[in-house]
């Protein structure tokens, strides 16, 4: 604080009075000076405040600017606090069966690669590697090490033991890259459904896994989708049932000296495929190469149940009779003329046995009369037959969750005339896959609504469109039951006490690639449902070229080959599915109640 | 008075600065801890995947079948047959546990997914 100067200093006033000046001027002068001083001070303060404010603004803008520059020049980085939920460790989701048992998973292994220029002792390294990996040749390795390249792969995936042995070589030029390997712990079980996988794009520290067949290929995108967050793909298969089916089938195939065997076990209401087996099979962990020549259907990779398009023989009689019953053309007791042979357009239709002059519709089915079925088909006519088989889905490739299913395109006659109608009625001149047959049987016998097969687990029955009435379905169920239960039925070896098996056999001569049909090679099929009064499951078993010597005769028909195998499958599998055998009393009650309805 | 407020404000600023710094350090420590835990979780998950694969491999049907065959003398294991289904009534109960027989007499022994037992 500056000392305040008095406005009228006495000394100057007295001085002024003496010289005759006006002392008021002194006062005014001083006042002016004082005001000027005050103004200067205020301005100075205001200026300093402005400066202060400007500094603050500058500092603030500078801070913002620095932060912005830092953000702009640094690598963007996710807030680490948000990544705490990323739990994906593998890039491809697991596949599990309906009980959650692992069918396919990933294992972290290592790929082995070499930087040849970093090798200290290439000879020793080549010798060591040749010693660890049997199929590597020391000479070749050494030549490649010296070819001047700076990088080479040795192995796509190696086991931990092998990795340790490579470590023990102590070569700085041998390097490992992490790899995820697709593992099928169950080996050949369900191999056709699984398909297999291979490495796609490879880099040093990762490799893409691509599905090559089966569900791996069908759901390839889906399994690799990061949005799954590791949730496994749940299939409808049951691993235990699948293993049991394959075991029984392999036994039956050996016993019947068959070329191949396949089976489809399907839930009759939900359409879930519980088991899908095709023999011979393969190990998806080491998927064999596809055949480059010859018949692809001879390869173990060939899925007979889904890709194999065969004439399925008399199993088609069910469709003919179902349609005739539904349209009211016949009743189970209507007598059909079965005098043979039946000649039509230069073609002769005969029966395996002579069944006399006539059979009831039920007996046409039970004893499998071709002539009888052809006569019923004549009543139906080509257009309506075509329409009905189309509605059952037997004329188009099946929409199924395996890429192979698109190859299972049914073969239908180009000219669907009266003769075709008659041969198709007992399953000749038309070909489809076993899966087609299984879904058609499920659709007709489950109460009459269409069922489409699926490999994905689902809980509720399918609400498919109605194909035949409940009542027709019930009659058909009684008929297929009689095919097995009646001692003269073609599938009388298929009886499994307690499980009321019902079904229809089919034996079709194999077509000769040179034209015509073989005399001694058949495809034997048994399409069955159990329990017949309220079908839960549909089982279709097919044997390729079976033959067995029983009672001094070589038997090839399905009744002697596919039926006993199917019966054994049901005996093994039904308890695993939790089906309790129905006691005899219960069965009698059922027949009474169904008769009174 | 004014000086007092200024001093108070200065102390408040220092205290807040210290608090903010402390929080910052704590956050960084927590983040480091989270990161460490996540790495550990990742390692454990990887182990879990391996163990699960190993479990599935050891439980593969082919191996179990071989083991059953190898140990048939001791275990006498056979595939499940339809005859093995029974109802509770068929069980002969030991005398010292009658309660169980009474309360669960109507229950099926084996799990049956088909339907409940129908009785008159």
Shortest CA gap B119–chain A (Å):
9
Per-residue model confidence (pLDDT) at position A395: 92
Q: A347-351, A367-371, A568-572, B44-48: lowest mean pLDDT where? A: A347-351
- pLDDT band per the 50, 70, 90 thresholds, residue A272: very high
- For residue A399, is pLDDT > 50? yes
For residues A215 and A250, state if they share a domain: no
- pLDDT band per the 50, 70, 90 thresholds, residue A433: very high
B54 → chain A, closest CA residue: A185
- The answer as to whether B45 is a domain residue is yes
Q: Which of A467, A488, A492, A485 is CA-nearest to residue A591? A: A485
- For residue A584, is pLDDT > 70? no
- For residue A404, is pLDDT > 90? no
Question: Residue A108: its chain B contacts at CB < 8 A?
Answer: 46, 49-50
For residues B6 and B41, state if they share a domain: yes
Per-residue model confidence (pLDDT) at position A596: 36
Per-residue model confidence (pLDDT) at position A210: 86
Mutation target vs B (from A80, A93, A102; most B CBs, 10 A cutoff)? A102
Across the strands, what pairs with A554?
Answer: A549
Q: A226-235, A525-534, B47-56, B89-98: lowest mean pLDDT where? A: B89-98
Per-residue model confidence (pLDDT) at position B105: 44
Find the mean pLDDT for residues A92-119: 88
For residues B85 and B59, state if they share a domain: no
- For residue B17, is pLDDT > 80? yes
For residues B45 and B11, state if they share a domain: yes
Residue entry with tokens 């404010």: A53
Q: Look at A318 and A161; give whichever has higher pLDDT.
A: A318
- pLDDT band per the 50, 70, 90 thresholds, residue A150: confident
Give the domain CATH number at A190.
3.90.1310.10
For residues A475 and A492, state if they share a domain: yes
For residues A218 and A255, state if they share a domain: no
The count of structural domains within chain A is 2
- For residue B111, is pLDDT > 50? no
Per-residue model confidence (pLDDT) at position A224: 85
pLDDT in tens, A51-76: 999 999 999 999 999 999 998 998 87
For residues B44 and B84, state if they share a domain: no
For residues A343 and A482, state if they share a domain: yes
- The answer as to whether B72 is a domain residue is no
DSSP-derived letter for residue A187 is: T
- The answer as to whether A565 is a domain residue is yes
- The answer as to whether A83 is a domain residue is no
Question: Residue B40: its chain A contacts at CB < 8 A?
Answer: none
* Burial class for A196, CB neighbours closer than 10 Å (0-12, 13-18, 19+): buried
- The answer as to whether B18 is a domain residue is yes
Per-residue model confidence (pLDDT) at position A389: 93
- For residue A5, is pLDDT > 80? no
- The answer as to whether A429 is a domain residue is yes
Find the mean pLDDT for residues A116-130: 87
Mutation target vs B (from A185, A240, A574, A585; most B CBs, 10 A cutoff)? A185
pLDDT in tens, A26-45: 888 889 999 999 999 999 99
- Write phi, then psi, for A62 (nearest 5 degrees): -65, -45
Per-residue model confidence (pLDDT) at position A291: 77
Find the mean pLDDT for residues A407-419: 88
A90 → chain B, closest CA residue: B46
- The answer as to whether B44 is a domain residue is yes
- pLDDT band per the 50, 70, 90 thresholds, residue A481: very high
Please answer whether residues A213 and A404 qualify as being in contact, where contact means their C-beta atoms are separated by less than 8 angstroms: yes
Give B 1-30 residues with CB within 8 A of chain A.
Answer: none
- The answer as to whether B90 is a domain residue is yes
The count of structural domains within chain B is 2
Per-residue model confidence (pLDDT) at position B46: 82
Cα(B90)–Cα(B74) distance, rounded to whole angstroms? 27
pLDDT in tens, B21-34: 999 999 999 999 99
Per-residue model confidence (pLDDT) at position A2: 60
Beta carbon pairs, A and B, within 8 Å: 92
For residues B34 and B91, state if they share a domain: no
DSSP string covering A551-566: TTEEE-STTTTHHHHH
For residues A410 and A477, state if they share a domain: yes
Give the domain CATH number at A502.
3.40.710.10
- For residue A440, is pLDDT > 50? yes
A184 → chain B, closest CA residue: B57
Per-residue model confidence (pLDDT) at position B120: 37
Mutation target vs A (from B37, B47, B48, B56; most A CBs, 10 A cutoff)? B56
For residues B54 and B106, state if they share a domain: no
Q: Look at A178 and B110; give whichever has higher pLDDT.
A: A178
pLDDT in tens, A528-537: 998 988 899 9
Q: Which domain holds residue A213?
A: 95-125+152-234
For residues A158 and A265, state if they share a domain: no
Please answer whether residues A533 and A444 qualify as being in contact, where contact means their C-beta atoms are separated by less than 8 angstroms: no
- pLDDT band per the 50, 70, 90 thresholds, residue A146: confident
Per-residue model confidence (pLDDT) at position A184: 92
Per-residue model confidence (pLDDT) at position B97: 65
- The answer as to whether A44 is a domain residue is no
Shortest CA gap B41–chain A (Å):
9
- The answer as to whether A400 is a domain residue is yes
Please answer whether residues A264 and A305 qualify as being in contact, where contact means their C-beta atoms are separated by less than 8 angstroms: yes
Considering only the beta carbons, identify the residue of B61, B83, B112 that sits closest to A239: B61
Cα(A486)–Cα(A503) distance, rounded to whole angstroms? 12
For residues A332 and A208, state if they share a domain: no
Across the interface, do B82 and A497 touch by the CB < 8 Å criterion?
A: yes
Per-residue model confidence (pLDDT) at position B99: 54
Q: Which domain holds residue B60?
A: 2-67
What angle, 0 to 180 degrees and rounded to 10, lies between the N-to-C axes of helices A370-380 and A317-326?
40
Per-residue model confidence (pLDDT) at position A81: 55
DSSP-derived letter for residue B118 is: P
Please answer whether residues A506 and A522 qualify as being in contact, where contact means their C-beta atoms are separated by less than 8 angstroms: no
For residues A218 and A320, state if they share a domain: no
- For residue B87, is pLDDT > 60? yes
For residues A229 and A248, state if they share a domain: no
Structure tokens at A231: 């949730």
For residues A218 and A250, state if they share a domain: no
- For residue B109, is pLDDT > 90? no
For residues A517 and A393, state if they share a domain: yes
- The answer as to whether B73 is a domain residue is no
Kindly report the average pLDDT of chain A as a whole number: 87
Kindly state whether B84 is in contact with chain A, defined as any CB-CB distance less than 8 angstroms.
Answer: yes
Shortest CA gap A285–chain B (Å):
12
Q: Which of A427, A421, A320 is CA-nearest to residue A364? A: A320
Across the interface, do B42 and A89 touch by the CB < 8 Å criterion?
A: yes
Find the mean pLDDT for residues A585-597: 40
Per-residue model confidence (pLDDT) at position A274: 94
pLDDT in tens, A497-509: 889 899 999 998 8
For residues A156 and A263, state if they share a domain: no
Please answer whether residues A491 and A505 qualify as being in contact, where contact means their C-beta atoms are separated by less than 8 angstroms: yes
- The answer as to whether A75 is a domain residue is no
- For residue A1, is pLDDT > 60? no
Question: Where a domain ends, among A234, A259, A276?
Answer: A234
DSSP string covering A246-307: HHHHHHHHHHTT-SEEEEEEEETTT-BEEEEEEES---GGGPPPPPSSS-GGGSTT--TTTT
- The answer as to whether A9 is a domain residue is no
- The answer as to whether A24 is a domain residue is no
Shortest CA gap A373–chain B (Å):
35
Q: Look at A137 and A296; give whichever has higher pLDDT.
A: A137
Across the interface, do A579 and B114 touch by the CB < 8 Å criterion?
A: yes
Cα(A304)–Cα(A520) distance, rounded to whole angstroms? 20
* C-alpha gyration radius of chain A: 43
Please answer whether residues A215 and A402 qualify as being in contact, where contact means their C-beta atoms are separated by less than 8 angstroms: yes
Shortest CA gap A269–chain B (Å):
13
Shortest CA gap B60–chain A (Å):
5
Across the interface, do A578 and B81 touch by the CB < 8 Å criterion?
A: no
Cα(A421)–Cα(A190) distance, rounded to whole angstroms? 37
Cα(A84)–Cα(A76) distance, rounded to whole angstroms? 18
- The answer as to whether B61 is a domain residue is yes
For residues B57 and B105, state if they share a domain: no
Per-residue model confidence (pLDDT) at position B101: 47
DSSP-derived letter for residue A89 is: -
C-alpha separations of A314 from A241, A374, A409, A570, B29 in Å: 27, 11, 20, 21, 76
Per-residue model confidence (pLDDT) at position A86: 47
Residue B37: other Cβ atoms inside 10 A: 11
Find the mean pLDDT for residues A298-318: 90
Per-residue model confidence (pLDDT) at position A82: 54
DSSP string covering A368-425: T-HHHHHHHHHHH-HHHHHHHHHHTT-SS----SSGGGGG-PPB--SS--HHHHHHHH
- Check the CA dihedral A357-A361-A363-A364 and report its sign: positive
Kindly state whether B89 is in contact with chain A, defined as any CB-CB distance less than 8 angstroms.
Answer: no
Across the interface, do A84 and B34 touch by the CB < 8 Å criterion?
A: yes
- For residue A583, is pLDDT > 50? yes
Q: Look at A166 and B114; give whichever has higher pLDDT.
A: A166
A201 CB-near residues (< 8 Å, 6+ apart): A207, A208
Question: Residue A240: its chain B contacts at CB < 8 A?
Answer: 61
* Burial class for B33, CB neighbours closer than 10 Å (0-12, 13-18, 19+): exposed
Please answer whether residues A542 and A561 qualify as being in contact, where contact means their C-beta atoms are separated by less than 8 angstroms: no
- The answer as to whether B120 is a domain residue is no
Question: Where a domain ends, among A234, A259, A275?
Answer: A234
- For residue A215, is pLDDT > 60? yes
Considering only the beta carbons, identify the residue of A84, A101, A580 that sits closest to B112: A580
> Residues of chain A whose C-beta is under 8 A from some C-beta in B?
80-81, 83-84, 87, 89-90, 101-102, 105-108, 183, 185-189, 239-240, 243-244, 247, 496-499, 536, 571-572, 574-581, 586
Cα(A474)–Cα(A482) distance, rounded to whole angstroms? 12
For residues B13 and B45, state if they share a domain: yes
Mutation target vs A (from B80, B81, B108; most A CBs, 10 A cutoff)? B80
Please, where are the H alpha helices in chain B? 2-58, 61-70, 72-75, 98-103
C-alpha separations of A402 from A218, A338, A406, A546 in Å: 5, 42, 8, 27
Across the interface, do A105 and B46 touch by the CB < 8 Å criterion?
A: no
Please answer whether residues A267 and A445 qualify as being in contact, where contact means their C-beta atoms are separated by less than 8 angstroms: no
C-alpha separations of A10 from A18, A27, A35, A102 in Å: 12, 11, 21, 113
- pLDDT band per the 50, 70, 90 thresholds, residue A570: very high
Indicate the pTM of the whole model: 0.77
């Amino acid at each position: 604080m500056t000392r305040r100067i008095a406005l009228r200093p006495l000394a100057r006033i007295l001085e002024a009075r003496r010289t005759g000046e006006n002392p008021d001027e002194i006062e005014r002068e001083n006042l002016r000076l004082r005001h000027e001083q005050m103004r200067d001070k205020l301005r100075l303060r205001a200026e300093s405040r402005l400066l202060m404010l400007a500094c603050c603004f500058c500092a603030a803008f500078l801070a913002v600017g620095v932060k912005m520059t830092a953000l702009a020049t640094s690598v963007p980085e996710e807030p680490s606090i948000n990544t705490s939920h990323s739990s994906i460790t593998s890039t491809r989701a697991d596949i599990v069966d309906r009980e959650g048992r692992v069918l396919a998973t990933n294992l972290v292994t290592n790929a082995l690669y070499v930087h040849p220029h970093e090798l200290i002792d290439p000879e020793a390294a080549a010798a060591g590697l040749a010693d660890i990996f049997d199929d590597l040749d020391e000479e070749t390795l050494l030549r490649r090490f010296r070819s001047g390249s700076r990088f080479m792969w040795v192995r796509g995936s190696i086991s931990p033991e092998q990795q340790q042995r490579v470590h023990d070589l102590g070569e700085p030029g041998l390097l490992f890259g992490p790899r995820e390997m697709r593992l099928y712990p169950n080996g050949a079980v369900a191999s056709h459904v699984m398909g297999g996988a291979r490495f796609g794009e490879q880099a040093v520290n990762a490799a893409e896994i691509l599905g090559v067949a089966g569900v791996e290929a069908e759901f390839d995108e889906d399994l690799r989708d990061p949005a799954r967050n590791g949730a496994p793909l749940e299939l409808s298969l049951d691993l235990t049932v699948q293993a049991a089916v394959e075991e029984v089938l392999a036994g039956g195939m050996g016993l019947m000296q068959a070329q191949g065997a396949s089976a489809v076990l399907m839930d009759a209401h939900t359409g879930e495929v519980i088991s899908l087996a095709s023999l011979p099979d393969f190990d998806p962990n080491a998927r064999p190469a596809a055949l480059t020549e010859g018949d692809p259907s001879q390869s173990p990779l060939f899925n007979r149940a889904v890709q194999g398009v065969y004439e399925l023989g008399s199993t088609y009689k069910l469709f003919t009779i179902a349609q005739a019953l539904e349209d009211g053309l016949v009743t189970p007791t209507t007598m059909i003329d079965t005098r043979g042979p039946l000649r039509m357009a230069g073609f002769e239709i005969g029966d395996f046995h002579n069944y006399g002059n006539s059979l009831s519709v039920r007996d046409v089915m039970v004893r499998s009369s071709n002539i009888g079925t052809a006569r019923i088909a004549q009543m139906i006519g080509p257009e309506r037959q075509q329409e009905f088989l189309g509605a059952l889905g037997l004329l188009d490739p099946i929409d199924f969750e395996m890429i192979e299913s698109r190859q299972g395109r049914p073969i239908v006659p180009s000219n669907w005339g009266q003769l075709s109608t008659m041969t198709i009625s007992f399953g000749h001149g038309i070909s489809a896959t076993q899966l087609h047959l299984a879904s058609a049987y499920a659709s007709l016998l489950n109460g009459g609504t269409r069922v489409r097969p699926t490999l994905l687990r689902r809980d509720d029955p399918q609400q498919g469109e109605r194909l035949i009435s409940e009542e027709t379905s019930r009659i058909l169920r009684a008929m297929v039951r009689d095919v097995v239960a009646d001692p003269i039925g073609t599938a009388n070896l298929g009886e499994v006490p307690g499980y009321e098996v019902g079904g229809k056999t089919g034996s079709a001569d194999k077509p000769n690639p040179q034209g015509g049909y073989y005399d001694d090679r058949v495809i034997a099929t048994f399409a069955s449902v159990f329990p017949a009064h309220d079908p839960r499951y549909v089982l279709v078993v097919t044997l390729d070229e079976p033959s067995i010597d029983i009672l001094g005769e070589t038997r090839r028909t399905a009744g002697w080959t596919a039926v006993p195998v199917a019966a054994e499958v049901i005996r093994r599998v039904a308890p695993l599915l939790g089906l309790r055998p129905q006691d005899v009393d219960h069965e009698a009650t059922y027949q009474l109640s169904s008769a009174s309805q | 008075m004014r000086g007092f407020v200024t001093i108070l404000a200065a102390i408040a600023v220092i205290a807040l600065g210290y608090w903010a710094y402390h929080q910052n350090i704590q956050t960084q420590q927590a983040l480091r801890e989270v990161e460490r835990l996540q790495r550990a979780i990742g390692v454990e998950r990887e182990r879990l995947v391996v163990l699960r694969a190993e479990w599935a491999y050891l439980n593969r049907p082919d191996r179990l079948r071989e083991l059953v065959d190898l140990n048939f003398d001791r275990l006498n294991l056979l595939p499940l047959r339809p005859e093995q289904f029974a109802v509770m009534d068929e069980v002969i109960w030991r005398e010292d546990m009658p309660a169980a027989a009474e309360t669960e007499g109507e229950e099926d022994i084996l799990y049956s997914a088909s339907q409940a037992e129908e009785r008159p």
